[in-house]
Amino acid sequence: MTDEQRERIHSLYVGIQKRRLAAGATYPMTIAQEALGELGPVASITISEDPAGVRPDFRNREECAVCGEIPTPTDRQAATLEVLLEKGIEIGVGVWTHSGCLKKCPESGEQRGIPC
């Protein structure tokens, strides 16, 4: 990846905040554990919208990562579950959400991860 490509990607993600999932939300944990397998115990999960123009083809589930229902193509939003493992490693898992479900998750004030 060139420096120019890296800068373009960085500029797309700057300013997007992590969002907190509702207390007791179990579906995001299910997705994280299935995607990450035996990488270790999960410490926390946040969710963040993906910027417009980012190719969403790496998402392998159709269900909304927040509620578990399948959003229609016109109501789905590309997002990333940011899974922090207890050993301190954070891994992004590409997901779909309903636009409304994502908006119900409060912003944390913390910058989302930027893929490199």
pTM of this structure: 0.88
Buried b (16+ CB within 10 A) or exposed e, 62-99: ebbbbbeeebeeeebbbbbbbbbbeeeeebbbbbbbbe
Q: What contacts 23, CB < 8 A, 6 or more positions away? A: none
Residue extents of the structural domains in the chain: 3-110
Give mean pLDDT, residues 63-70: 94
Dump pLDDT digits (tens) for 74-114: 999 999 999 999 999 999 999 999 999 999 999 999 999 88
